[in-house]
Amino acid sequence: MFPRRLYATAASRLVTSAKPVDGFVGAIGNTPLVRINNLSKETGCEILGKAEFMNPGGSVKDRAALFVVEDAERKGLVKPGGTIVEGTAGNTGIGLAHVCRAKGYKCVIYMPDTQSQEKIDLLKMLGADVRPVPAVAFDNPMNYNHQAKRYAESLDNAAWTNQFDNTANRQAHIETTGPEIWAQTEGKVDGFTCATGTGGTFAGTTRFLKNVSGGRVKAFVADPPGSVIHSYVKSKGKELVRGGSSITEGIGQGRITANMQPDVGLIDDALKIPDADTIRMLYRLLDEEGIYLGASSALNVVAAYEMAKVLGPGKTIVTVLCDGAYRYQSRLFSRKWLESKGLVDAIPAHLQKYIVLA
């Protein structure tokens, strides 16, 4: 077990020696690594979650947002007063909106019209020009990513940050997330798992941990229904099978992105996580741990739990707690919505007290 933080209780508060950081941008990263107590006890492993919901913009995507904007600045693609354009399912857009406000850029977000209203409202509150469009496959020219690219190209002093295939996204996790995990576990991490959307978090973190450990750290990619990654890994690159759909937002993929491609060979296994397991874990974490997480984070914790059972007792498994449930609460805690997805019965009776919305 890793030592508890000294300021974890009111009786032992401590003024830390950390110095002030430089605005919003300086506060990104260096998030805590949180032990998931009950799952750790059940498995005999240390199951740890990187608390990315504690980033200043509320999600893991703050890291990628900063790196892709700074990449555009270094390349001279955007100058002061310019416009950042992105196609995003939500959290990258929120991170970009924050970074753009901090750096003085305008921000335009194209997103699928399937995303939660909470995300859309927050983007607007942050000053972003939000453009929801019909959700269509990537090979359709009206896909939100292609529309974002075309719009950026129509403007002067504008950059399409291209989160899916801009490897500055992956680099964010090679330079920050991976090293943080290694330092926080004192090099004792045995396994890393999370789902992929752009592939940046999984690929970048995996690349760093594999390199620094000499290949010792195992990497399992987690996948929701409707995504092709599980089939691609299991078939050794021969199949891209998409089936079903998922309640999760911002994860799952229909292709192998440029962020993911360099590190596909580092993947040790893939885990397919049903929505029923995800929603059950989401409610369980709220009840047992007091941690209020979104569905993609809950899926990642299920994957860590499954990985712990595969690797066996005594191992340290790390996953990513991407964001909090407050961005999805009108759905995840709504009985009507859960019934529409056939998920009410997946939630144990003693946890259904948390279904507080109609």
Whole-number Å distance between alpha carbons of 99 and 90: 14
Measured CA to CA, the distance from residue 292 to residue 325 in angstroms comes to: 6
> How far is it, in rounded angstroms, from Cα 306 to Cα 278?
12
Sheet holding 33-35: strands in order across?
33-35, 46-51, 316-321, 191-195, 218-223, 269-272
Question: 290: which residues sit within 8 A by CB, 6+ positions away?
Answer: none
- For 172-208, what is the HEC assignment? HHHHHHHHHHHHHCCCCCCEEEEECCCCHHHHHHHHH
Give CA–CA dist 315/285, Å, rounded: 21
φ and ψ at residue 3, rounded to 5 degrees: -60, 145
Known active-site residue 149: no
Catalytic one of 50, 61, 106, 218: 61
- Of 161, 202, 157, 168, whose CA–CA distance to 50 is shortest? 202
CA distance linking residue 203 with residue 224, whole number of Å? 17
The residues annotated with a catalytic role in the active site are: 61
